[in-house]
Amino acid sequence: MADILPRREEISRQYQWHIEDLYADDGKWEEEFQKLNAMLPMLEDYRGRLGESPQIFLAMLRRKDEINQLAERVYVYANQRLHEDTGNGTYQELAGRSQTVMIRLSAASAYIVPEILALEEGTVERFLEEEPQLAVYRHFLEEILREKEHVLSPESEELLAQAEEMAQGPSDIFAMFNNADIKFPSIWGEDGEPMEVTHGKYLSLLENSDRDIRRAAFESMYETYGKFKNTLAASYKANVAQAVFYARARKYGSSLEAALSGSCIPVKVYDNLIETVREALPLLHRYVRLRKRMLGLEELHMYDLYVPMISGVEMKIPYEEAKNIVLDGLSPMGEEYLTHLKAGMEGGWIDVYENQGKRSGAYSWGAYGTHPYVLLNYQDNLNNVFTLAHEMGHALHSYYSDSSQPYVYAGYKIFVAEVASTCNESLLIHSLMEKADDPREKAYLTNYFLEQFRGTVFRQTMFAEFEKKTHAMAERGETLTADVLCSLYYELNKEYFGDDITADREIAVEWARIPHFYTPFYVYQYATGFSAAIALSGKILREGGKAVEDYKKFLRGGSSAYPLELLRMAGVDMESPQPIREAMGVFEDYLKQLELLSAVKQTDG
């Protein structure tokens, strides 16, 4: 009998997030939605008046925050409901309505930044001196003034805001295709019964010790994407085009510069990551050689990259056990952090298991004024234990930030978004390694860490290079056809993984299934975040309470300072290649350990 996903209503309530903590029901959401619609025109009351007095200026900022906070709640509820079952027509409608009102809000507030920038020189500084209650907005206003050359006239800003719904089209189309429409052929399991291939189960299938299952899952996934590669290339091309359009409209040198500018990240940080990781590719090639040898394969294929190299170590971990492992692994963070972590695990923050139509992957999200939410598609393996630690790292970052900052600074910038999550992972692997007495288990965990590193630093940097090249091609007027994208991706794959692996032709279409490509230049931050996390977790393990308190200052900081400044407060300088080189040093240390421990596998064999 085929392994069929349960329907949403068949999932136990204790493993569903408490969405009612946002709104008790759809009726309450509707009331707030109508309230939001009624409040939008209130922003017009301040148009053309921002230079009248610091009191009018302050009133506008407060009204904007009030409306944005309400809009955030409306938007998050509708979309999280949709993510529970992307085929649900009711929540498709609510999500669509919330998207539309967000576009209206963006248009209604589009005059604000241009009008602030049009004020007479020194007006903002004078207002800050004359009205003490404006002090909370000082950094917010400094950020606006910093971007002055990239802000257009009020009319042009309003036009760009109105175009956002069209610009969102490629991302919306891909999300609906990838989560609701695409289906993969079932494969035959070890027991001769068909096994369903889904986004949530794919990695578990690649970790299967049966190579035929791994190959079949790989082919099921990529042959299916291959059938739609032209459509997906058109979607990706359109998303790149809208990024290039907005960058040019705002007078940036490139879409890369535009994407990084909002967080005040120099392009050299992005380029430095690619250059430093490329310098370290011999380490990845050495790891691939070790994997090939330890698996005893004449040819290593792409579908062999995830299977544990140490056999006979069973790491089947149910969700309830995973919670305890994470709590124990994060004990260096101290009692306060653990109290919040446990409260989140037990208090309806997490939607745990996969169901029919549920959005794939995992994330942490939420709205200011209520607790964060975490979406999982939990499978009983070690990777999903780390996913739990990772997403709860995001959630606790949001919790600390929301609890410490006013709304205007509560959301942290994307550049630091992956630091807290990967710091949790770094602490967890250290704990598991410390507690592992069995050399085979230690080898298994070492293998796991190296795989996490490969996926988070090497693979995401390869993605980042792919994005940089494709956006640059579009900016030069070159056409991003399916064949062009596949060829570029295939060659990068060969360069990164080296000659000791067979680069299966199917992997050329992997770009077509990466959701983060629809948020341009996001993925590089996984690699920079991982590097920063290694530095921070090392400080926490070495220095204890003092380092934890410094780290909490970072967690509480939200966006009250620029990301690079926040990280420097915690002791990490990401403008230097040093954190990335330190990360590579840790990778090499673990690689050496596995090379020594590989004798365990050979003896067993």
On whether the CB atoms of residues 92 and 82 are closer than 8 A, the answer is yes
Q: Work out the number of other CB atoms within 10 angstroms of the CB of residue 579.
A: 22
CA contacts within 13 A on the Cβ side of 26: 11
Q: Residue written as tokens 């992956």?
A: 418
d(CA 525, CA 510): 20
Residue 395 to residues 101, 257, 547, Cα–Cα distance (Å): 26, 29, 20
How would you classify the pairing of strands 350-351 and 363-365?
unpaired
Catalytic residue check, 391: yes
Nearest residue to 138 via CA among 403, 409, 411, 417: 409
For Cα atoms 247, 253, 255, give the angle at the middle one, nearest 5 degrees.
40
How many helices (H) and strands (E) would you count in the chain?
A: 28, 5
On whether the CB atoms of residues 243 and 344 are closer than 8 A, the answer is no
Find the Cα–Cα–Cα–Cα dihedral 120, 122, 126, 129, rounded to 10°. 150
Q: What is the DSSP string of 537-571?
A: HHHHHHHTHHHHHHHHHHHHTTTSS-HHHHHHHHT
In sequence order, the 6+-apart residues with CB closer than 8 A to the CB of 40 are 67, 101, 104, 105, 108
d(CA 4, CA 194): 10
Residues 445, 448, 452, 458, CA torsion sign: positive
On whether the CB atoms of residues 134 and 127 are closer than 8 A, the answer is yes
Burial letters 220-249, b for 16+ CB under 10 A, else e: bbbebbbebbeebbebbbbbbbbbbebbeb
* Options 196, 354, 391, 425, the catalytic residue: 391
**Residue type for 308, please?**
P
On whether the CB atoms of residues 306 and 211 are closer than 8 A, the answer is no
For Cα atoms 532, 534, 536, give the angle at the middle one, nearest 5 degrees.
70
Q: What residues are annotated to the active site?
A: 391
